[in-house]
Structure 1
């Protein structure tokens, strides 16, 4: 086999140790050196010096999540680093030690047999951290709101049956009065409700008649404090995300021209795949990486499975949310396609299929820097 890189190394990264195997020289005279390093910061800089002394140009390491990030951050400016998919570089069964793993990666890299994983630039990685944390906090916010719903139902306060969103402007005022004194007088309801809620005054008054105990009030107040705290954190997070998106404002606005894609979803898409589509050879490579492409498992002429791969769960969920919002849009071909697929294949498969199409559109929009243009259905 042809040798592509004459000075390369394989890194087997763990929480406490890194085993390095360096391969230097031509095919007839290969010099192999193996050295273990601890993972403290000073040892990572010692690793950097060790690699530089041997004039290493290319490095391969498994994508080991959080353990590999400090190593990558220190070495990325000095070497061409290939993040390898652990599933695709498995060695012969039974041959499994840290030294053998590092040597196997170095050999594969030497002959160009490791497919390079996608690693976005530092600013996109920072944006990715923020959007993922924001999603986590939004989940906690929803959980606290559901807990308040549960306590109100237990006390037979049916406010959610009358007001669709009890955490809207009118609902929040009613909950605030309820938490302060445990009940709401009829004249107080007028001061809390606004607009079309005035028409539901009698129903609201009846729904508020329940049996709130001191314990239930305490539970609601605790959840309410957590909700207010989370909302303040999310507001700060949104401000920070806006700052990081300043450099990609053009791409953000392009993505928001897609029906069903709002600012938060567009931010997640940019955070997960970046704005440079040159990282992906084709749109289908991107779809496979994201986990929204149909599977391909064929044997003896029979197609056995079309299940999608796990892919990137963060962008996959964002695309499915966008697909669900798009399905509600009128006069859109993708919406019509969703309902057609839903009737034949079910909701979940239809959502993934539309998410796949949306991602293909995103790929070409970002590649060509063109806004979304859709011919309406008639």
Structure 2
């Protein structure tokens, strides 16, 4: 099989260290030697590993995308070494693997023969943008879960305004809930807090507010609202920072262009841009 990289390294990563196999030409023509060493995951250890790989004139370093453990190694070695981050499942599923071959040795073999494909690693501005958009997505999910828990609490009191109003925390829903938390028990008063088109459902609302919302429920509902408001503040802060990062990177135009696709708004466009970047040279084909 053709050898593409005469000097190749494979790295098996964990939280505490990396097992590194360096594959270099042997003393006899066509032969290769492999030596496995273990290196810590501290910044100093990674710097020493960098020096070793440079000393061995390694032209490709292959590492698996194991959790987030690859990041310190990748970021510490990427400046002047040719790195390839590969999908662990893809590397292990290739035919020909022997069970007694370590992951590091196997990755070195695959890299030497050009049998693995690297994952897309964007530039630093896009990496920072990706951190922000993914954090916003996590916050949005947390907000949804808080609202679901709040709805369950309201349902347990027998109050059914969430069946009449379209959203639990719309303008009217928020007014209903804050009044309940403040200790307002009167269904007529609560129903009159409805805004806009919801006001025509006054009779349904009066019936919906006939429940048993106690001080106990008010305490829990208030805690849910505080958490939701905190998450909203974080989402707003993240969105503002994302916009600033796009401006600083000079790619706001790409966000606006993606947002012209039917069904994709600015948030979705920012998420897409954070995952693929704005430079399509990284992708040889549309596929």
Query: Shared fold (TM-score greater than 0.5)?
Result: yes
Identify the residue that residue 16 of structure 2 maps to in structure 1: 16
Residue 159 of structure 1: how far off its partner (Å): 0.8
Q: Which runs of 5+ in 2 are unaligned?
A: none
Q: Which runs of 5+ in 1 are unaligned?
A: 285-378
Relative contact order higher in (CA < 8 Å, ≥ 6 apart):
2
Q: Secondary structure at the match of 1:143?
A: helix
Q: Distance in 2 between matches of 1:42 and 1:20?
A: 16
Q: Secondary structure at the match of 2:251?
A: helix
Identify the residue that residue 208 of structure 1 maps to in structure 2: 209
Identify the residue that residue 6 of structure 1 maps to in structure 2: 6
Moved over 6 A (4+): none
Root-mean-square deviation (CA), in Å?
2.2
Contact 2:9 2:58 in 1 (8 A): yes
What does the per-residue CA deviation read over 1:346-366, in whole Å, with 9 as the maximum and x for residues that have no partner?
A: xxxxxxxxxxxxxxxxxxxxx
Identify the residue that residue 116 of structure 1 maps to in structure 2: 118
**2:97 corresponds to which of 89, 92, 98:** 92
What does the per-residue CA deviation read over 1:181-220, in whole Å, with 9 as the maximum and x for residues that have no partner?
A: 1424645654x33322332333323322211122222221
Contact 1:8 1:59 in 2 (8 A): yes
Residue 162 of structure 1: how far off its partner (Å): 2.0
Residues 282-297 of structure 1: pairs in structure 2 closer than 5 A: 282-284=285-287
Matched, 1:249 2:252: yes
Q: Secondary structure at the match of 1:181?
A: coil
Identify the residue that residue 69 of structure 1 maps to in structure 2: 71
Identify the residue that residue 222 of structure 1 maps to in structure 2: 223
Residue 30 of structure 1: how far off its partner (Å): 4.2
Contact 1:178 1:184 in 2 (8 A): no
Identify the residue that residue 49 of structure 1 maps to in structure 2: 51
Q: TM-score, normalised by structure 2?
A: 0.88
Q: Distance in 1 between matches of 2:48 and 2:191?
A: 69
**1:179 corresponds to which of 178, 181, 198:** 181
Contact 2:9 2:62 in 1 (8 A): yes
Residue 89 of structure 1: how far off its partner (Å): 2.7
Provide the aligned length of Structure 1 versus Structure 2: 280
Contact 1:177 1:184 in 2 (8 A): no
Alignment CA distance shift 1:74-1:104 (3 Å):
same
Q: Distance in 1 between matches of 2:197 and 2:110?
A: 68
Contact 1:182 1:217 in 2 (8 A): no
Identify the residue that residue 167 of structure 1 maps to in structure 2: 169
